[in-house]
Structure 1
Amino acid sequence: LSTEFLNSIHSQVNRHEFVAKLLRQPTFCAHCRKFIFGIGKQGYRCRDCSTVVHKHCHQDVVWKCPRNEADDAAETENRGTTENQFNMPHRLAPHFYKRPTFCDHCGSLLYGLKHQGLQCSGCKLNFHHRCQQNVANNCCAGAA
């Protein structure tokens, strides 16, 4: 790994590689669900899955980065499933939004006129189509 890459990573939490990010548009925190605002780099974005959280929330992220789950598949198998209590995939379906809605993964606005994003039928979280592959299996609504 290059020195430049290592210096750009501010924190590693649950396989997320968070990097400080200057956010140029209104963005919601994927952890606390509040707006991220302020002067300078107030947001942290995971280098691999693009989830965005407040600088002060990044240490509290409990879900593992879905892009790096394969790295520890053997570890999880040996330890059991108690480590990740929300290991439930989201049940996503295209959704039409009547009011401005933000992606619960990357925090950006879901835009368009029709089928702007996907909504989980269990927990009602909303995601961009482009974020679908990066969303962690953390649906808290339980099995269908």
Structure 2
Amino acid sequence: RKRQGAVRRRVHQVNGHKFMATYLRQPTYCSHCRDFIWYGATLTLLGSFELRICTCVVHKRCHELIITKCAGLKKQETHDEQVGSQRFSVNMPHKFSIHNYKVPTFCDHCGSLLWGLLRQGLQCKVCKMNVHRRCETNVAPNCGVDARGIAKVLADLGVTPDKIT
């Protein structure tokens, strides 16, 4: 009786991330491919997945291509994961500083707009990634890494990102 009318939401686990389908009320940027996630007639084709721990938002088609570990998870590695992480590891921390934006800018992590007139968010000095202050701690340490390119090469090799570690 407690869950009457509730919708069961499936959790998709990829490389330590836990994605759930969600409905977005406004156009949002995908954290992986940097394209807008639009809703309307293409709801079933694009969809969106929101990460339950670090609030990263990606297309349904992109959620299996995430190559970095979830930054929101605590370090609980088994011996096998430690060996795997030595084989393939992306650990390039960002160098964020407060930034003033002159044009409307979207967060590259959660995909929503950076609000305000001054000091709206943070920008990485190296890769120019833009994020909210609240998103800084949840951003994966992949500064300067072409995640789309790596995911494409892995797909061409027939390897999924969740199998590389």
Name the TM-score class by shorter chain: 0.7 to 0.9
**Unmatched 5+ stretches in structure 1:** 1-6
C-alpha displacement at 1:80, in angstroms?
Answer: 4.6
Which amino acid in 1 is paired with 2:137?
Answer: Q
Describe the shift of the 1:36–1:102 C-alpha distance in structure 2 as closer, same or farther (beyond 3 A). same
Q: RMSD of the alignment, in Å?
A: 1.8
Report the 3-state secondary structure (helix = DSSP H, G, I; strand = E; otherwise coil) of the residue aligned with 2:75. Answer: helix
Q: Distance in 2 between matches of 1:77 and 1:135?
A: 21
Deviations 1:55-90 (A, max 9, x none): 111011111101125122755543453322x31100
TM-score, normalising length from structure 2? 0.74
Describe the shift of the 1:10–1:22 C-alpha distance in structure 2 as closer, same or farther (beyond 3 A). same
Q: Distance in 2 between matches of 1:75 and 1:97?
A: 44
The structure that is strand-richer by fraction is 1
Q: Distance in 2 between matches of 1:74 and 1:114?
A: 47
Highest Rg: 1 or 2? Answer: 2
Which amino acid in 2 is paired with 1:56?
Answer: R
Q: Show the counterpart of 2:34.
A: 33
Equivalent residue pairs, number: 134
Q: Flag as ranges the 4+ runs of structure 1 deviating above 4 A.
A: 73-76
Q: Show the counterpart of 1:98.
A: 102
**Unmatched 5+ stretches in structure 2:** 1-7, 146-165
Q: Distance in 2 between matches of 1:21 and 1:52?
A: 9
Report the 3-state secondary structure (helix = DSSP H, G, I; strand = E; otherwise coil) of the residue aligned with 2:118. Answer: coil
Q: Would you say the 8 A contact 1:9–1:17 is kept in 2?
A: no
Report the 3-state secondary structure (helix = DSSP H, G, I; strand = E; otherwise coil) of the residue aligned with 1:81. Answer: helix
Q: Distance in 1 between matches of 2:55 and 2:73?
A: 12
Out of 119, 125, 144, the residue aligned to residue 121 of structure 1 is 125
- The percent identity for this pair of structures is 47
